[in-house]
Structure 1
């Protein structure tokens, strides 16, 4: 994948991999900026329910315009590859930052406030993240917090994104109702955060 070009996005390096796809750093030749691109695994494209989840993720996240939420620029389909073009955030995961040693109470409070502001913006639009965890929180060198990966996002009152009785998310952060595969609301994000 490295070195390939899709539309006007040249793939530079792999950044990571999650339940809903592989993320690469790319160069947007039209706007001359770096972006992050999340590719849907090929096997998902053959399953309409997975494709629907991917589209809903992109639409839900794109509707969120907040300084503490990673911006979605586009959803594309090129040469049988389906991907989301996102803001590239140069920083480190909160998980990585914490693993390097303790952070001050003041810094913890600043981070927590920014996470709650981002979550509040999502919840005001009836969007539930459903996978809040330290590896989905990026922190820039200047201390700006960005919530990443709305891959399990659910629009409250909207389309059911999971099969009946299935649980999506990261077990250690799941609310009890989420772990049981029951319907969730913004309380699941608060549980995971708190």
Structure 2
């Protein structure tokens, strides 16, 4: 694909590949700008459900205009391919950033606040992300968080087109209700952000497992070790905030992302 042209987009680099799509860096030759092209994988192209889910991502994100959400420009079909055209974020993923180890508390609070603001905007538009993880959080060269990949997004006001009890998402970041295929709401994103915050502060996952079934059992049954046991500079209000976000029962979590933001704004690193 490198060097080829799809519609008026010239492919210049492969950025990544997932189970449903391949993402390329490309040049929009009409507008002379660099974009990211998310192309539905060939093996799923003939799968109607996969096409619906892929196009639903574009439908969901196209409704959102927020500085902490990666902009979607358009969805198109050309050369027998279906693709989404997005802003190309220059920077690094949170996953890459965590390769060097846990982050400073101030930085964790900043990244968490920006992510929470982006998710709050999505929730106000009746959209749940359902796959929040460090790999879907980019930090651009100016330090601005961009949330990626609304590929599992659920439009709350419309009938869910995924099959009943479908387990969709990335297992280590799944809420208990998501892990067992129960209906989800905005508090699933609150849980997943709590897992990301735990990882940023400790460098490890709060739940353990050698395989999927063990990981799900840990999510359902285990209480995470206190973050204060990993680092001496952990502010108690931040510890309490994350513990609340990771409550097994969603009714015990923050009611909405606005409440998470208020808790984070009260954190004073020691």
Q: Report the TM-score, using the length of structure 1 for normalisation.
A: 0.97
Partner of 2:72 in structure 1? 72
Partner of 2:54 in structure 1? 54
Partner of 1:34 in structure 2? 34
For structure 2, the residue ranges without an aligned partner over 5 or more in a row are 195-270
1:95-134 maps to which residues of 2 (within 5 A)?
95-134=95-134
Q: Secondary structure at the match of 1:162?
A: coil
How far is 1:54 from its partner?
A: 1.0
Q: Secondary structure at the match of 1:22?
A: strand
Asked if 1 retains the 8 angstrom alpha-carbon contact of 2:165 and 2:183, the reply is no
Q: Secondary structure at the match of 1:177?
A: helix
1:71-90 maps to which residues of 2 (within 5 A)?
71-90=71-90
Q: CA RMSD in A?
A: 1.0
Partner of 1:190 in structure 2? 190
**CA deviations over 1:36-92 (Å, ceiling 9, x no partner):** 000001222211111111111110011110000000001010011000000000010
Alignment of 1:16 with 2:16, yes or no, is yes
Q: Report the TM-score, using the length of structure 2 for normalisation.
A: 0.70
How far is 1:177 from its partner?
A: 1.1
Partners of 1:134 and 1:13 in 2: CA distance: 22
Larger helix fraction of residues: 2
User: Which range is displaced more, 63-72 or 13-22?
Assistant: 13-22
How far is 1:161 from its partner?
A: 3.1
Q: Secondary structure at the match of 2:74?
A: strand
Partner of 1:147 in structure 2? 147
Distance 1:159 1:41, change over 3 A: farther
Asked if 1 retains the 8 angstrom alpha-carbon contact of 2:7 and 2:79, the reply is no
Structure possessing the higher relative contact order (Cα contacts under 8 Å, 6 or more residues apart):
1
Partners of 2:34 and 2:161 in 1: CA distance: 31
Partner of 2:92 in structure 1? 92
Partner of 1:176 in structure 2? 176
Size of the alignment, in residue pairs? 194
How far is 1:179 from its partner?
A: 0.8
Partners of 1:164 and 1:44 in 2: CA distance: 20
How far is 1:127 from its partner?
A: 0.3
Partners of 1:188 and 1:102 in 2: CA distance: 24
